[in-house]
Structure 1
């Protein structure tokens, strides 16, 4: 199991054949379901804030347009005040305008210039407000992505509470039962891949050193002594070891041997999966010279059935 939790259901029995993708067991997921509801609510909340952010952008852009219009008006007023001041100044020099009139026009010119500066400052502030509103929308988009990722992660975690078979196999052992609280990484079932069947045996160095990967072999099981099962050598250990106690004679157990695997072809096993069992004892025969013929009792042509 990927997660710790209480085992809710075990859907298969020992000895049962299962197909790849078939549901095997289910962990309780109520806490994950609550987390998912919360994550979806937050996701919707962030999505709804997009409309508010876009409204703020529209408002700030409207305000910017308004202050830009004020700048245009202020520029026009400043131009008119400057022309009026210049005209009054010339008339004053000719004695055609009083000093009071000149002072009044100068004051209006100064005021108009100040209005222009103030309007330009408001434009700068309005543009900054627009950029801030746009940045907020970008931030909201990022939060939407994060919220969506959270929802997807929790959904994936919920999917992982449903344990499925990774391949076609047979249930060897049920290692946990419904109601048990299991830790993360705990095995709940032991599955056997019946299309990957081999026999492990041991050979002395002088024989193992001459054995080629892919060499033909025959397996004769104690339970079926009249059937020679075709196999191929798929592994020869590169380090010698003491043979296990299952080797029959004490003298052989004292020798250093090399572990070898003879694998039965997948296509030969598929029609007979219901008969395949693990841990069966037997004897493996290896053909060292590919040109040699198998003895009659190991001829597999009449026994592959």
Structure 2
């Protein structure tokens, strides 16, 4: 009986050793071998992360997204309190409205002055021309009657009347000249109106710039998704005070996912950027997702514990990123383990990975 038990134990151990050897051979020497031109590797699906942070310090009033939510570019994710900035925006908008009204009135006055000054100047110029003609005629008449009075042809009284008429016309001429000078001063008033308009226009631009700056700050209190994707982590909660630049969400774009794999040192020389690859996941074992080699690390590192290699003795590997050509219906998500086959020789038929 003892002999039988001993023989049975030896037989079981032998079967286990043989079975383990067969399993190891199938994994690494047999089924694990791919034809030359294909390299298999595995890793986890990752994505380019985007941190959504607040530009301003403040208290979080509302959070509108949770971990796992799919968001679109521009979608509102959070809102900070805006009481103080809202008051400043009202003040800035009121200043813009006031200056705009003043500018409108100044432009109206300038338009009137530009119409009236030329008309007044033309009228004064006409009056002056008439006064000059009247004065010249009165002077001529006064001289002629003075000569006639000296010869006794007319009474001295008539000559005196002509001299008085000349004196009056001369006064009218001086008045007309003053009126023309006053009319021409209207151009200075127009220039002054133009300066007022220019000053108000400059003030309005400054006020609008200030209002735009405040509006930009108010807009910065609303946090929007910079790109479409999935919220991986929500780092803050509503009611918390945050400083400027504080991360609030960690977002990954599902349209720009990649599989990060590790290729043994002895195979890395066969890879180059742009090589095609096919990725397989446990969730879709019969579906191959096309990918392209977009990154190859320049320095080797120790093999991560969670990564499989056909040769367990391999210690140094190179990180390689295989970017998916597409993610139909967003079926692929970050964190999912996956296997990949990279083709480095053209014409070699694709095969599924063998582990």
Moved more, 32-41 or 87-96: 87-96
Distance in 1, Cα, partners of 2:353 & 2:110: 89
Distance in 2, Cα, partners of 1:7 & 1:296: 49
- Written as runs of structure 1 = structure 2, the 5 A alignment for 1:99-114 is 104=164, 107-108=167-168, 110-114=170-174
Distance in 2, Cα, partners of 1:58 & 1:167: 51
Residue 14 of structure 1 is matched in structure 2 by: 67
Match 1:178 to one of 203, 217, 238: 238
Distance in 2, Cα, partners of 1:202 & 1:271: 24
* DSSP 3-state at the match of 1:293: coil
Distance in 1, Cα, partners of 2:236 & 2:312: 39
Residue 41 of structure 2 is matched in structure 1 by: none
Moved more, 141-150 or 288-297: 141-150
- Superposed CA RMSD in Å reads 3.6
User: Could you state the TM-score of these two structures normalised by the residue count of structure 1?
Assistant: 0.76
Distance in 2, Cα, partners of 1:88 & 1:34: 80
- Written as runs of structure 1 = structure 2, the 5 A alignment for 1:1-305 is 1-57=54-110, 60=113, 61-62=115-116, 65-66=119-120, 68-94=122-148, 95=150, 96=154, 104=164, 107-108=167-168, 110-141=170-201, 143-144=203-204, 146-203=206-263, 207-219=267-279, 229-237=288-296, 240-244=298-302, 246=304, 252-253=314-315, 255=316, 258-268=318-328, 270-273=329-332, 276-278=333-335, 280-281=336-337, 283-295=339-351
Distance in 2, Cα, partners of 1:250 & 1:121: 106
Distance 1:163 1:119, change over 3 A: same
* DSSP 3-state at the match of 2:250: strand
Distance in 2, Cα, partners of 1:25 & 1:128: 57
* DSSP 3-state at the match of 1:261: strand
Distance in 2, Cα, partners of 1:231 & 1:142: 59
Q: How many angstroms does 1:196 deviate by?
A: 1.9
Distance in 2, Cα, partners of 1:292 & 1:201: 21
Q: How many angstroms does 1:261 deviate by?
A: 1.0
CA deviation profile, 1:182-203 (whole Å, cap 9, x unmatched): 2333221001222222122344
CA deviation profile, 1:26-75 (whole Å, cap 9, x unmatched): 11111221122112212221232245324533663446644543443233
Distance in 2, Cα, partners of 1:90 & 1:114: 23
Distance in 1, Cα, partners of 2:138 & 2:163: 12
Contact kept in structure 1, 2:340 and 2:353, CA below 8 Å? no
Distance in 2, Cα, partners of 1:111 & 1:211: 107
Contact kept in structure 2, 1:14 and 1:171, CA below 8 Å? yes
Q: Give the unaligned 5+ runs of structure 1.
A: 299-305
User: Could you state the TM-score of these two structures normalised by the residue count of structure 2?
Assistant: 0.67
Contact kept in structure 2, 1:215 and 1:290, CA below 8 Å? no
Q: Alignment length, in residue pairs? A: 290
Distance 1:206 1:118, change over 3 A: farther
Higher Cα radius of gyration? 2
Distance in 1, Cα, partners of 2:320 & 2:278: 13
Moved more, 123-132 or 226-235: 226-235
Contact kept in structure 2, 1:5 and 1:182, CA below 8 Å? yes
Distance in 2, Cα, partners of 1:56 & 1:226: 81
Contact kept in structure 2, 1:10 and 1:26, CA below 8 Å? yes
Distance in 2, Cα, partners of 1:7 & 1:159: 14
Contact kept in structure 1, 2:135 and 2:169, CA below 8 Å? yes
